[in-house]
Amino acid sequence: MSDLNGAEPNLLIIGASTRAAAFSAKRAGYRPLCLDIFADADLQANAVVRRIENYPQGLIQALQSLPRFPLLYVGGLENQPEVLQVARERHDLLGNDADVVAAARDPAQLAESVRMAQVEMPEWRTAEEPPEKDGTWILRPLFGSGGRGIQVWNEEAASSDVLQEPHGFQKLIVGTPYSGAYIASAEPGDIRFVGVTEQLIGSKTSGAEKFQWSGNIGPTTLSIPVEHKMRRVGNILKWKLGLKGLFGVDFLVTEDERIFVTEVNPRYPASLELLEFATGQVLLNDHIQCFVEVENSSAWSPSASGPLFGKAILYAANPFTMNVDLSAEISDYNEFPAFADLPQVGTSFNAGEPVCTVFAQGATIQQCRESISSMLQQLRERLES
């Protein structure tokens, strides 16, 4: 099970898509073994990879069969407590355990915590007390990620498949969506507020659904009052819910600067790779240091100028099979890529599934947006030709 240089892996990374965290780990000096759904070409070029079928049950079986590793998990697994339980029992978990994750994802506990930080959460109703179907609420799955299944609660949504799974209803708030990244050490004291990125939600160029996460651009700045409150949010989440290491907070800021926290992601956040290139810092080492003493050291000089960095997901418009070889686009983990999460030739996609990721640099948020939109359009045309 040696890596591309013949050395044994020393960090296990698991999740739906591990590429971003694996590249962060490589920059931090680790040799990752990755278990995910896609086993994309650029991940295989930089790490040891096992593609997991029958996710997440196949992931549990793989965890049980492997020798003990330090283990990092990424997006999607906050909704899989049984996977986190096996990860903790069979490996050395470098992340929040299932109980902490459950608290961070519970609307009632989260609402109490953010209230103490003097910010708000959109009003929430359980499945047992649905609101009027008047378009002023959204229907949300309790165990969704990336905006999956979120939709306006109206007469059309009354026949949604989301109603057949655990769900609730959240008041619809209009505002600019952001994602804050934090690092909480095990020691008493303030969290480290890493930075904020603006979220891309429901991008038509990406082919995303209305509330679906499409990407991030940043780092961006907030007004001083908003930033102070969001720093306080991070500190209270650490204190009240016991969060450790890297975590993300999604929030909306309205025109009159009211802040509404919409979700906490108690693991490696999707925006982190952008913030690593923006800061030139190996932030994954700081995460791991929250759980064990880190012996690795990495002198990393990012090959990117920025100052702003963006990424966006291309979603399949229709079912198709990949017949374009994108291997020429594979980037080294130290480089800021143009494309990433590159599928193998022959990979099949259903409509709405993520295909790959495009990246851009720019001087302004708008410049990054325009560059991303152009790249998405060109890539879609290339794949459909």
Query: Between β-strands 70-73 and 92-93, what pairing exists: parallel, antiparallel or unpaired?
Result: parallel
Alpha-carbon Rg for the chain in angstroms: 20
In a domain, 309, yes or no: no
Q: Is residue 355 part of a domain?
A: no
- Whether 226 is covered by a domain: the verdict is no
- CB-CB contact of 130 with 271 (8 Å): no
- Looking at residues 356-367, what average pLDDT do you find? 95
Q: What is the pLDDT of residue 2?
A: 58
Residue 3 has pLDDT above 70, yes or no: no
When pLDDT is averaged across residues 35-42 and rounded to a whole number, the result is 95
Within a domain: 91: yes
Q: How far is residue 15's CA from residue 78's CA, in Å, rounded to a whole number?
A: 10
User: Can you give the residue range of the structural domain that contains 84?
Assistant: 11-97
Asked whether residue 67 is assigned to any structural domain, the reply reads yes
Q: What is the mean pLDDT of residues 96-119?
A: 93
Q: What CATH number does residue 91 fall under?
A: 3.40.50.80
What is the number of other CB atoms lying within 10 angstroms of the CB of residue 81? Answer: 16
Beta bridge partners of 215: 200, 312
| Whether 78 and 135 share a structural domain | no
pLDDT tens for residues 173-213?
A: 999 999 999 999 988 889 999 999 999 999 999 999 999 99
- Are residues 30 and 85 both part of a single domain? yes
Mean pLDDT of 13-32: 95
- Has residue 343 got a pLDDT over 90? yes
Q: In angstroms, rounded to a whole number, what is the distance separating the alpha carbons of residues 385 and 382?
A: 5
Does a structural domain hold residue 50?
Answer: yes
Q: How many domains does the chain have?
A: 2
Average pLDDT of the chain to the nearest whole number: 93
Which burial class, exposed, middle or buried, applies to 164 when counting CB atoms under 10 A from its CB (0-12, 13-18, 19+)?
Answer: exposed
3, part of any domain? no
